[in-house]
Structure 1
């Protein structure tokens, strides 16, 4: 077991990514708690998803910004070197040929801070998740 030196929580994995302290209650609070250099990028992702999904509710789920309409549609989160976008496994499969330059996992894609954000692709993914209901189930 590994214990976070900042918050004292214990995890199976050493240096486990997590949110120290009280989880944010709003997306504004989430973004404000991130490093200043990352906040503009998070706001770009947020604004892109909001424009793509104007009827979706903004929520915090699993301590991450989440867009919801009868179910979770898509999530994003800040990490040390990237923004994690969590559209779900089916979305990653559907957009696989357009995500080749990014590190991916079963239901997520890592958008590194040192590359331009693919905002039009994020728009397409968010809309696809909403329209097909193939979303991340956290």
Structure 2
């Protein structure tokens, strides 16, 4: 079992399924992603760089795309979610919409791949 999967397995339902969904989408978008650690959290890594981590807190789940620019690319579509510079907070009852999640993760992948910052910020990775 991978470190990301092991961390998710420790979480109770329905949060576990919500976290697993994020990781499933990330793995679909980046099938070559590898398990690793980033900032002390189990994370998926692409090209040796942190891609995404999802962590459970007492009252919410946190998505870490390791990129303020990736969050900025979808910020307008995350109304109702608590955001910080590098975190999107959500719950199983109020998940990140799939289309927004995919765009956020695609923006991070574009950033890792070296897509120009203006394209990432515009939400149009090339």
Instruction: Please list every run of 5 or more consecutive structure 1 residues that lacks an aligned counterpart in the other structure.
Output: 1-24
**Equivalent runs, 1:1-138 vs 2, <5 Å:** 26-69=3-46, 70-87=48-65, 88-133=67-112
Higher alpha-carbon deviation: 86-95 or 57-66: 57-66
The alignment's TM-score, normalised by the length of structure 2, stands at 0.75
Count of matched residue positions in the alignment of Structure 1 and Structure 2: 110
Distance change (3 Å), C-alpha of 1:39 and 1:57: same
Residue by residue, what CA displacement relative to the aligned partner does 1:108-128 show, whole Å, maximum 9, x if unpaired? 110123224422221221111
CA RMSD of aligned residues (A): 2.0
CA distance in 2, matches of 1:35, 1:128: 30
The alignment's TM-score, normalised by the length of structure 1, stands at 0.69
Contact 1:66 1:74 in 2 (8 A): yes
Runs of 4+ in 1 over 4 A off after TM superposition: none
Instruction: Please list every run of 5 or more consecutive structure 2 residues that lacks an aligned counterpart in the other structure.
Output: 118-126
CA distance in 2, matches of 1:60, 1:79: 18
**Structure whose CA Rg is larger:** 1
Contact 1:53 1:126 in 2 (8 A): no
The CA deviation at 1:85 is: 0.8
Residue by residue, what CA displacement relative to the aligned partner does 1:38-90 show, whole Å, maximum 9, x if unpaired? 22112111111111111211223344331212211222111222221112211
